[in-house]
Each structure stands twice: as structure tokens, then as C-alpha cells.
Amino acid sequence: MSDMWCVCFDCEGVLVGEAWLELQKKTGLDGLKLTTKDEPDYDKLMMHRIKILRENGVKLEDMKSVVETMEPLEGAVETISWLYPLCPRIIILTDTFQNYAQPLFNKLGQCTVFCHAVQVDDEGYIEKHVLRLKDQKRKSVEALKGLNFNTVAIGDSYNDISMLKAADKGILFRPGEKVLEDFPEFPVVWDHASLRVLLAETMGLPKPTTMNGK
Amino acid sequence: MSDMWCVCFDCEGVLVGEAWLELQKKTGLDGLKLTTKDEPDYDKLMMHRIKILRENGVKLEDMKSVVETMEPLEGAVETISWLYPLCPRIIILTDTFQNYAQPLFNKLGQCTVFCHAVQVDDEGYIEKHVLRLKDQKRKSVEALKGLNFNTVAIGDSYNDISMLKAADKGILFRPGEKVLEDFPEFPVVWDHASLRVLLAETMGLPKPTTMNGK
């Protein structure tokens, strides 16, 4: 049959910046400097963040306001606008939380997003985070393959690797040094213009024309 | 956990009109008046259509030009624009073919579309249609449920019923008289304004404000 592709993007680090990093900058709270690099247990990290927010009176709506000031990464909107008319299956697979990340999703268009949610208490504080499904990135790619799609997945970090491995084609986008060393098997791109070229080659699409702005 | 919904729309009859009907009108070809009502075997129907097109010199690009003149149904774009910021998981599940239906998908935004494809010969004629997956609408809903989503599916016709039954909530949109009689178990809406209200109730979303244009 003629190939039908589904393109799975990680969100933070690939299409947009890091929301927690931005919140740290805007609030100046030292406690929010802790990242997955310092605390590999994501549950623990999130409970730590949630505690810091409550102690400092930062509510979900405040976090959402910060996210509203963020813009997609350079070239991300162009990648999606270029890709969609050629392959109307763009799925964002992210471990972020819809409650505050939605303003960023809106700026990327109407792409489908598989993510998680946080629970908010009566006062408007984040109470806890709820993972919809463990290892959902990998499982989503597997489900898409089960529906007879070819899959390509693009990610930048350790939590993307299982999805990149599950996909027919995995691509690293601007990875950290250690990720790059640990997973030399994946092709690597450093900006969206190069990503579009690689996607076109991978999926047999017409070569993208060079656009202003990467 | 907080519910996370995925909304599955049939395309023709729910979001846009019928492409083959439009082609029949534009070309005046009597042979294209045959529909699923006359020929329940979809494979046979498509081979009949493909034969008529070739006999009359109608190529894929001609069909695409006709589709380009079509507009989404009244209120469809509003439904998607209203829904997306509340639930960024809109998947169009359709048995139509990406090669000529893409102009219509573009007019609906960047929604993910699970569909099929046709194969085109060197002269530009449709050679055959290729079903990516049999009963893909139902199987897609089942896969989404397997990823721990709540699902709601909206369709108008017999080929949507298995998807409506598989979903947590099935909704009939402007169904034919016979479909309505045969499946009294589904709630029915007749326009997009009512669909938005029913979706909001079903998914626990804020009540949609009345908009100009249904």
C-alpha cells in the first residue's frame, strides 16, 4: 500500500521551551531549579515542585499566565504548517500537563496532544499530578503502528528514547550531550529547517523549500 | 484521575459535505450517481467510480480541484475552534482518501486525520483505492481507549455505527431516516450548535456560548 505516516513530536525541547524553567525565571524561586537532572524520580520531582508552589502562593492560574507568555521554538510553527498538508497526522506526545500547557498547544495549531493532567484544589493550588498512563509515549507509538501507520518520532531527552525506539524512525532534536553519547543510533538535527529536510527524506515527501526563519 | 477525553469525528456528513456527490454535480456524469445506498459493497463501488473517471478523462487533480471548491459544513469550524482549547485531542476518523480530501482537511485546521489513500498511475488517473485497515474507525477508538482516554465519537451513517458503539459515548449527527430508526440508542443532534452543547454536557466542559452561525 502507499505509505501512510504518523508523526509524533515530543513537546518541550522540540516544539516549545521548558515551562518549569520559565516559571523559575519569572518567579525567581530557587526551589524550582531542581530538574530531572537532579531528581530522576519524576513523581518525587513533581511533588517537590507542587510543595514549592503552595509555600510561595503560586497557583495554577499563575503558572498558566507564565506559560501564556511563552512562544513556540524558532521554526516549530513552520514545521507543523509545512507538514500538515502533506501528512495530516501530527500527534504531540508529552509528559506535560494540559491544565497549564494548553496556551502553548494553542499556539502550535490544532494538533492532537496526548499528555497528562494535574488535579487542582478548591483554592486553585496544584494538588497532585496524575499520569494518565505510564510510558504513554512508547505505548502511543505502538498503538499507532497497530493501526497500520508508519511512525516517525522526534524527541530530545531520555524520556523520549522508548518512543524513538518503538517508532519506525526515531530522530533526536537538539539533544543534550549525554543523550547524544548514549544513543548514537539515532539521526540528529539541531534546528527545524534541518528537521523538515530529514522528515521529507524519511517520509518520501517533496523537499521543503527554504523558509525565512529556521 | 481527572477525565481526559478524545473526540472522534466522522468527516463527510459531519464536518464537510460528500466529495463524490460534489464531483457528480460538477461533472454531470450519471455514472457517479451510484452511492453506498445502491451498492453496499464499498470495494465494488470504488472500482465502478474509478472506471467512470478514467472513461471520462477525470484525473486525481481534477477531483482535487472540485474538492478545493468545497467548504466545511455550517458550524463545523466553530465546533473545532471551540473544542480544541478545552480538549486538544480531535481525531477525524474517515474512510475517505487523503489524496483528494486534503484541501478539506486544511480548511478544518490541523486536526489529525486517520483515513485511507488511493493509488495513482503515471497518467494521473486513480488506479485503485487502498484501505489502510479494515474497520479502522472502530479499531482507532479501541486503541484510544487502550491508551486510557475517554472517547466520544460522532457520526451520521452506517459505517460509523461500530465506532459509535465502541466509544464511551456515541452521538448521531444529522443521520438518515433509516439509521435513526435502526439505532435509537444514540443521542441525536441536527446542527453544530446543538452538538457543542451535547459535547460540553458529555465531557463536563463549560457551556458553550451561542455563536453566530450554527
Lowest-confidence region among A108-117, B28-37, B100-109, B183-192: B28-37
CATH architecture group of domain B22-69 = Alpha-Beta Complex (3.90)
Across the interface, do A88 and B109 touch by the CB < 8 Å criterion?
no
The whole-angstrom distance between B183's CA and the closest CA on chain A is 27
**Rounded to a whole number, what is the distance in angstroms from the first to the last CA of chain A?**
34
What's the confidence (pLDDT) of residue A130?
A: 83
The domain locations on chain B are 5-17+73-118+128-203, 22-69
HEC string for chain B: CCCCEEEEECCECCCECCHHHHHHHHHCCHHHHCCCCCCCCHHHHHHHHHHHHHHCCCCHHHHHHHHHCCCECCCHHHHHHHHCCCCCCEEEEEEEEHHHHHHHHHHHCCCEEEEEEEEECCCCCEEEEECCCCCHHHHHHHHHHHCCCEEEEEECCHHHHHHHHHCCEEEEECCCHHHHHHCCCCCEECCHHHHHHHHHHHHCCCCCCCCCCC
B-contacting residues of A 52-111, CB under 8 Å? 80, 84-85, 88-91, 98, 102, 105-106, 109-111
What's the confidence (pLDDT) of residue B108?
A: 96
Across the interface, do A143 and B148 touch by the CB < 8 Å criterion?
no
Average of pLDDT values for A171-193?
A: 96
| B129: confidence class by pLDDT, cuts 50, 70, 90 | confident
- For the segment B46-81, what is each residue's pLDDT rounded down to a tens digit? 999 999 999 999 999 999 999 999 999 999 999 999
How much of chain B, in percent, has pLDDT values that exceed 70? 97
Please list every residue in chain B whose beta carbon sits closer than 8 Å to the beta carbon of residue A112: 88-91, 111-112
The whole-angstrom distance between A108's CA and the closest CA on chain B is 9
B121 touches chain A (CB under 8 A): no
B149 touches chain A (CB under 8 A): yes
Residue A196 and residue A179 in contact, taking contact as beta carbons nearer than 8 Å: no
Considering only the beta carbons, identify the residue of A4, A84, A130 that sits closest to B1: A130
Across the interface, do A130 and B91 touch by the CB < 8 Å criterion?
no
pLDDT at B136 over 70: yes
Please list every residue in chain A whose beta carbon sits closer than 8 Å to the beta carbon of residue B144: 143
What's the confidence (pLDDT) of residue B179?
A: 92
- For the segment A27-53, what is each residue's pLDDT rounded down to a tens digit? 999 999 988 777 878 888 899 999 999
Cell of A53: 508552589
Catalytic: which of A3, A12, A121, A156?
Answer: A12
| B3: confidence class by pLDDT, cuts 50, 70, 90 | confident
Total-model pTM? 0.94
Closest CA to A98 of A79, A120, A81, A83: A120
A12 is catalytic: yes
CATH level 3 topology of B5-17+73-118+128-203: Rossmann fold (3.40.50)
Considering only the beta carbons, identify the residue of B88, B106, B132 that sits closest to A85: B106
Please list every residue in chain A whose beta carbon sits closer than 8 Å to the beta carbon of residue B119: 2
pLDDT at B93 over 60: yes
A5 touches chain B (CB under 8 A): no
A10 is catalytic: yes
pLDDT at B212 over 60: no
Across the interface, do A2 and B85 touch by the CB < 8 Å criterion?
no
